[in-house]
Amino acid sequence: MKADQTVTLNLPATADYVDIVRLNLYGIASKMGFSYEDIEDMKVAVSEACNNSVLYAYGQEGGLVEVIFGVNGEELTITVKDEGVSFSLPQEKSDASTLHDKELHDVEIGGLGFYLMQALMDDVSVASESGKGTQVILTKRLTRSEEKV
Amino acid sequence: MTTNKSDKFNARTVLEEGKSVVYLSGELDLSVAPDFRLVMEPLVGDSDVDLVINLKDLKYIDSTGIGILLSILKARHSANASFSVAEVPTQIQKLFDMTGIAKFFEPQGNSQ
């Protein structure tokens, strides 16, 4: 694929459309030559970003999620944007939390999504502005000499 | 959208000698989370019967699905009832390891 091309999806911010994002991701990432495992990792990360928009951006009224796949040679950048209420990030903690150092009775459900994005992508950046929605940018770089799809 | 949800995700319960085994297939994500909760609710509440979730044909799970498994773990643990997962695919095991939920399934997934 040539450098610096983009594919943009505009989807209703409902849970029913998140699998459409995964299908498109699969198509684009496999064209670029990402390994099966990298694609599976990106599927999880991009779905978590979309879940955040679906769950927290718009309340009852509904709205749109824009997903932009940026193909830059050796790098895939996926931007997930909404124009809703921004969600609060787990910034107080040094890192998004996992269950590793917890006992079952201390565990709280939720909060794993952001951790998974960070763990599964090379870069994650989140820009959130009050009244202007949230933008999550996920980046994965191609690593050579791996099994191709 | 008129997606047939059962094509996308399915949970089939089989009663085997004193235990309930729930076979999951397809993609367990936010869109089917309410359906999965509904299937699991009565099974989780029956603490006399061992509960196993078989993940052999599960293709995908997100943090919502992992969160539901976690809430089942908690409920079964406090009822002193057994709960385990079986035949976990590699990619899903990786997510269980990363998030840390894996340790609650050990050993042999028994919560005891």
User: 3-state class of A49 per DSSP?
Assistant: helix
Q: Considering the domain boundaries, does residue B112 fall inside one?
A: no
Q: Considering the domain boundaries, does residue B51 fall inside one?
A: yes
Q: Considering the domain boundaries, does residue B69 fall inside one?
A: yes
pTM recorded for the entire structure: 0.87
**In this predicted structure, what is the pLDDT of residue B16?**
87
Per-residue pLDDT tens over the stretch A3-42? 589 999 999 999 999 999 999 999 999 999 999 999 999 9
- The interface pTM score, or ipTM, of the predicted complex is 0.85
DSSP B56: E
Distance from CA of B50 to the nearest CA of A (A): 19
Q: Count of domains in chain B?
A: 1
Show the CA angle centred on residue B98, arms to residues B94 and B100, nearest 5°: 115
Query: Could you tell me if A5 lies within 8 Å of chain B, comparing CB atoms?
Result: no
A110 contacts B67? CB cut-off 8 A: yes
Q: Considering the domain boundaries, does residue B84 fall inside one?
A: yes
Query: Could you tell me if A147 lies within 8 Å of chain B, comparing CB atoms?
Result: no
Q: Domains of chain A: which residue ranges?
A: 5-141
**In this predicted structure, what is the pLDDT of residue B17?**
85
> What value does the mean pLDDT of chain A take?
86
Nearest to A98 among B8, B99, B104 (CB): B99
| A146 confidence band (pLDDT: 50, 70, 90) | low
**In this predicted structure, what is the pLDDT of residue B3?**
55
Nearest to B31 among A15, A110, A115 (CB): A15
DSSP A85: P
Q: Give the mean pLDDT of A120-148.
A: 85
**In this predicted structure, what is the pLDDT of residue B112?**
36
Class in CATH terms, A5-141: alpha beta
Q: Considering the domain boundaries, does residue B76 fall inside one?
A: yes
| B75 confidence band (pLDDT: 50, 70, 90) | very high
A16 contacts B62? CB cut-off 8 A: no
Per-residue pLDDT tens over the stretch A32-76? 999 999 999 999 999 999 999 999 888 777 899 999 999 998 999
Residue B13 pLDDT greater than 60, yes or no: yes
Q: Considering the domain boundaries, does residue B30 fall inside one?
A: yes
CATH classification at residue B25: 3.30.750.24
Look at residues B29, B47, B32 and name the one whose alpha carbon lies nearest to residue B111: B47
Parent domain of B20: 5-105
A99 contacts B99? CB cut-off 8 A: yes
Q: Considering the domain boundaries, does residue B14 fall inside one?
A: yes
Describe the strand order of the beta sheet including A75-82 as a list of residue ranges: A5-12, A64-72, A75-82, A133-141, A123-129
Q: Give the mean pLDDT of A79-99.
A: 69
| B67 confidence band (pLDDT: 50, 70, 90) | very high
